[in-house]
């Protein structure tokens, strides 16, 4: 599997911004005309073109949720937690960017937002978007 494939390679040729004479990172499959269905299976040899950004964005979301949970459970960033509000704002911003990238790249994704409310009730929201 080509795990180092970046989706921009396939999307670039699909948009006719470039060409590819080989199947590198699924570029030939994605760019052929007339368009053919994408082989959405784990057996697809170039699945990295979609699998890599999917996992990367959920790695980011997971790290953000871990950080928000740690802050909610009492970790202090800076003297007496003076930088906690800034860290929370940056975490939410990063969370939004990752979810936004998923929305741009895929027709469906699973939002996973940490919603600790400070009372020990640590919930995650997870629902499929269509």
Is the pLDDT assigned to residue 92 strictly greater than 80?
Answer: yes
Reported as half-sphere exposure (CB side, CA atoms, 13 A), residue 94 has a value of 20
Q: What is the mean pLDDT of residues 10-27?
A: 84
What pLDDT score was predicted for residue 122?
46
State the pLDDT at residue 117.
56
Q: For residue 3, what pLDDT is reported?
A: 55
94: left (phi over 0), alpha (psi -120 to 50) or beta: alpha
pTM: 0.78
Work out the mean pLDDT of the chain and round it to a whole number.
Answer: 83
Judged by DSSP in three states, 36 sits in: coil
Q: How confident is residue 120, by pLDDT bands cut at 50, 70 and 90?
A: very low
**Whole-number pLDDT of residue 128:** 44
pLDDT above 60 for 65: yes
How far apart (Å, rounded) are the C-alpha atoms in residues 113 and 125? 5
Domain boundaries, the chain: 1-46, 50-130
Nearest to 95 by CA among 52, 65, 130: 65
What is the reported pLDDT for 25? 84
């Amino acid at each position: 599997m080509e795990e180092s494939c970046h989706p921009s390679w396939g999307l670039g040729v699909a948009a006719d911004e470039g060409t590819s004479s080989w199947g590198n990172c699924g570029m030939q499959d994605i760019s052929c005309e007339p368009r053919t269905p994408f082989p959405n299976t784990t057996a697809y040899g170039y699945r990295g073109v979609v699998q890599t950004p999917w996992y990367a964005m959920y790695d980011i979301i997971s790290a953000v949720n871990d950080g928000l949970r740690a802050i909610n459970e009492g970790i202090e960033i800076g003297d007496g937690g003076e930088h906690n509000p800034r860290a929370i704002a940056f975490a939410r911003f990063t969370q939004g960017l990752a979810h936004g990238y998923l929305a741009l790249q895929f027709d469906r994704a699973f939002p996973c937002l940490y919603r600790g409310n400070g009372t020990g009730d640590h919930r995650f929201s997870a629902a499929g978007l269509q």
